[in-house]
């Protein structure tokens, strides 16, 4: 029988794979909530579905469960500071950050692109919950993306 992979070995291996950096947002009453997420992916074209993984204990997950709506803000390679800000715990993430109410969900005004989603399903993901969103509206990014690789932010370069 194989020995189980260690947490450190698993973390190091998955960190070696580039992941897109997004900020997922939702609103509870008047107060917007958001968190940086690198576990984001397209899932289906017909119907248009995406998936994001949210920590089981996050306030954002509780809001998404209740409101059944969320926004995925795509970040450009110049938005590392914004990603770091939303990766931290706290109530003041939106202080001084321009945002607007789009379809009842907070949209970061400076996001490079976005997807407005309605919660379709939730799936167990260990210490995270996978939120599957039906994409209601989207705008692609025209800028180089912000990616996360080996615990550092970077961007994509074209293969030559």
Q: Where are the domains of the chain?
A: 8-154
DSSP string, 37-102: E--EEEEETTTTEEEEEEETT-HHHHHHHHH-EEEEEE-BTT-HHHHHHHHS-SS-TTTT--EEEE
CB 132 within 8 A of CB 118: no
Q: Tell the burial category of 119 from Cβ atoms under 10 Å away from its Cβ (0-12, 13-18, 19+).
A: middle
Q: What is the pTM of this model?
A: 0.91
Query: Which of 53-67, 68-82, 100-114, 128-142 is the least confident region?
Result: 100-114
% of the chain residues with pLDDT over 70:
99
User: Of all helices (H) and strands (E), which one includes residue 30?
Assistant: none
Class for the domain spanning 8-154 = mainly beta
> For residue 68, what pLDDT is reported?
96
> For residue 89, what pLDDT is reported?
87
> For residue 1, what pLDDT is reported?
65
Q: What is the distance between the alpha carbons of residues 154 and 78, in angstroms, rounded to a whole number?
A: 9
Average pLDDT, the chain: 92
85-98: average pLDDT: 91
Query: Which of 49-58, 92-101, 151-160 is the least confident region?
Result: 151-160
């Amino acid at each position: 029988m194989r020995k189980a992979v260690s947490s450190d070995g698993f973390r190091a291996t998955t960190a070696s794979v580039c992941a897109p950096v997004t900020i997922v947002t939702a609103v509870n009453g008047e107060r917007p909530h958001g968190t940086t997420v690198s576990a984001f992916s397209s899932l289906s074209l017909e119907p248009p579905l995406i998936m994001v993984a949210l920590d089981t204990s996050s306030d954002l997950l509780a809001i998404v469960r209740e409101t059944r709506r969320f926004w995925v803000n795509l970040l450009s390679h110049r938005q590392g500071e914004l990603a770091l800000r939303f990766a931290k715990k706290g109530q003041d993430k939106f202080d001084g950050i321009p945002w607007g109410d789009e379809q009842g969900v907070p949209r970061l005004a400076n996001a490079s692109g976005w997807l407005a989603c309605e919660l379709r399903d939730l799936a167990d993901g260990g210490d995270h919950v996978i939120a599957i969103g039906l994409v209601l509206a989207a705008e692609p990014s025209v800028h180089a993306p912000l990616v996360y690789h080996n615990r550092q932010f970077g961007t994509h370069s074209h293969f030559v």
